[in-house]
Structure 1
C-alpha cells in the first residue's frame, strides 16, 4: 500500500501530465495527493482518467492559491470525507482485517492560516486509538537541521505546530533520501533548501503499519519533491550486525564473564585477542545465561498463575513468599525490557527510564523503518 504526496505548484501546464504519469507508473501508488493544484473539479476528473485512478475528491483553488486533489484506487474504500479551504479528512479502509485509517492533508501557505489550522486541529483531535496519518506541506521547518541557506531558524516559527504534535502525540516519520523537499531554484549563495513536506503519525498508526517508510523522490517538475509513503514493506531480516546490549550490565554474572574472557595471555596484542575472545563467547552467554526474556516472562507468569490458584484454595506461607519472589523477578524482567526498547529507540535510558515500554516500542518501530536502505 503506497501513497504519494506532491506539491505540484499547478497542474495545468502541458508538462505536468508526463511527469505525473511517470511517477504513477514507477511507484504504483494506491493514493495520489496533489497540493497547490490551482484547478477546478472538471480538470480533476480528466486527470483521474488519464492517470487510471477510480475515485477523486477536489478542494478547488482560490484564485492563484491553493487547491488539493486526492485520487485513489478501487481497492480502497473511503468511508468518510470532510473538507474546507485548506485541508481534508478522509477515513480509508485499506484491508478487511485492519482498522480504518484517518488521513489528514493540508497546505495553507499563509502563516496566519497555518497557525489557525494547528490550533483548530489541536482542539478537535480524533480518539487516540484511531490510526492517524497527517501528510502535509507545512511551509515551515522545525529545526535548523531542516534548513540550509537563507535566514537562521527561529523556534517561534513552528511553536503552534509543535504544540499540536505534542497534544496529539504525533511523531515525525522522517524520510529516506534527500533530507530537503523544497528548493528556491536559485544558485550559489542564494540557494535555499528546506524540509517542508513530511508525514507525521500517532502510535496507533505505527502499531498497524510497523513497516511504514517515507521516501523523498526526485524533484523534476515542481520546486517541491514528491514524498512516497509505503505502508507495508518487506520486513527487515538478518543477519544483523553484532551490538553490545546495555541491559547485560544488569546481570550479576556479566562482570565476571567480561573480565575472564577479555583477559588475554598474549602480552603483545592483549586488547585485540581479548576482544576477539569476548566476541566469540558472548552469543552463547547471551542465549544460555542471560536468556530469552519473553520465555522467562512466560514461565514466571505460568508459575504465578499456579501459585495464585493454590492460594485460592488454601493458605500457605511458603507459597506467599514464593509469589513475592516471583513478582520481584518479573518486575526485573520488565525493567530489562524497558532498557532494551529505550536503546532501540535511541533514547537515553538514564533520563527516561520510567517511561512506558510501549512508547519506546513505537519509537523503535518508526526508527527501524527510517533506517532501511
Structure 2
C-alpha cells in the first residue's frame, strides 16, 4: 500500500465512485492532525505544527470537472475558509486556470470561467505559492493528435501561512503514467539562529549616581568607540529648537548661541510625524489624505474585482493613517474625507 511504502502511520480515505474520484490523506507518527470534514471533493483538517508554529488549517481540494457545477466548488472553498481563522493552505486539482497563459492547445477557455476562480482566490485571501518544474500539470492527447496542456493543480495559502513557512516551495514533478503531474510541497521554516546573545543586565543603582545625566552602553572595542563618536557628532550637529512667536529676537539668538542649535519651522517633521500640531490640524495631517488619494487614483486605472478592491482597502488604504492615529487624534473632518475617498473607489 502507498501508506506503508511512504512510512505513514495514520490515514483518511474517501472512496472513489466507480473508476473516478477518491481522496486520501496520510500523516506520519507524531504529527497531530484533526480532520474536520471530508467529501468526494475535499478533505479539511487542522494540523499541529508544534511549539514554534502552532495550529494551521489544511484543505486538500478537488474542483468539480463539470463546468456547470464549478460554482459549487468555489462556494465550498469560501465556506471552508470561514470555518477557521488559522493560517490556511489549500492544495490540489482545482480543474481551472487563472489566465490564458496557463493553457496550450484546444479551444479557448471562457473568460468568465477564469474570472470566477480568480475572484474566489481573492475572496479567500489566498496567494499562489508558485512552482518549480514544468509549467503545465495536466496533459491530454485527443484522437486528432491535438495536445492540450493546462496548469490545473496548484497550492494556495493565506499570507499568515506564508509567514509561518516563508521558504515553502512547490515542485511540479514529471510522470510517464499519469495525466496529472504529481505535486511536492516542501514546507521548510525560516532557519532559527542557534547562537544566542549574551544577556545584558541593567543595574538600577546606576540611576542613583548624580555624576551622570545619560548612560551609554556599547561593546568595549575601538570600532564601537569610533561609531559612538560619530553618532554624538551627528547628534550635536542636528540639535534643533523652536520658539513661540512671542519670544524676543535677542533671547532667541542667545539660546541659539549657547546650544549651537538650529531653528525649525512649525510643520517640519520628526519620524514622519509633525513636530508640533497647532490649531489648524488639517494642515498638519493633510499628507495622509494626499497619500490615500494617490493610492486610490492608481488603483482606479486597474481592472479589479470587488474582492480585490476590498483587500487593497483593508491592507493598504486603511493602514496609511494607523501610525499617525496611534500618536494623535486626527480631525473628524479629515476622517470623513478619507472615508469618502474609499467609498468612491
Q: With the length of structure 1 as denominator, give the TM-score of the two structures.
A: 0.51
- The separation in 2 between residues aligned to 1:211 and 1:331, in whole angstroms, is 35
Provide the residue aligned with 1:71 in structure 2. Answer: 26
Provide the residue aligned with 1:58 in structure 2. Answer: 13
User: Rg larger in 1 or in 2?
Assistant: 2
- The separation in 1 between residues aligned to 2:51 and 2:175, in whole angstroms, is 35
- 1:331 positional shift: 6.6
Q: 1:255-270 residue pairs with structure 2 within 5 A?
A: none
Change (3 A) 1:185 1:95: farther
Q: Do the aligned residues in 1 keep the contact of 2:125 with 2:158 (CA within 8 Å)?
A: yes
Q: Do the aligned residues in 2 keep the contact of 1:142 with 1:155 (CA within 8 Å)?
A: no
Q: 1:218-237 residue pairs with structure 2 within 5 A?
A: 218-232=174-188
Unaligned runs of 5+ in 1: 1-45, 236-287, 289-298, 308-318, 340-347, 361-373
Query: SS in structure 2 opposite 1:183?
Result: strand
Provide the residue aligned with 2:61 in structure 1. Answer: 106
Q: Deviations over 1:257-283 (max 9, x none)?
A: xxxxxxxxxxxxxxxxxxxxxxxxxxx
Change (3 A) 1:88 1:150: same
Change (3 A) 1:53 1:99: same
Provide the residue aligned with 2:230 in structure 1. Answer: none
Aligned residue pairs, count: 229
Q: Deviations over 1:214-259 (max 9, x none)?
A: 2212223311111122222567xxxxxxxxxxxxxxxxxxxxxxxx
Query: SS in structure 1 opposite 2:271?
Result: helix
- 1:209 positional shift: 2.0
Q: Do the aligned residues in 1 keep the contact of 2:164 with 2:189 (CA within 8 Å)?
A: no
Provide the residue aligned with 2:161 in structure 1. Answer: 205
Question: Is 2:88 the counterpart of 1:132?
Answer: yes
- The separation in 2 between residues aligned to 1:187 and 1:217, in whole angstroms, is 26
Out of 106, 109, 124, the residue aligned to residue 153 of structure 1 is: 109
Unaligned runs of 5+ in 2: 192-233, 235-269, 303-310, 318-345
Out of 169, 172, 179, the residue aligned to residue 216 of structure 1 is: 172
Root-mean-square deviation (CA, aligned residues, Å) is 4.0
Q: Do the aligned residues in 2 keep the contact of 1:149 with 1:189 (CA within 8 Å)?
A: no
Change (3 A) 1:329 1:174: same
Q: Do the aligned residues in 1 keep the contact of 2:166 with 2:189 (CA within 8 Å)?
A: no
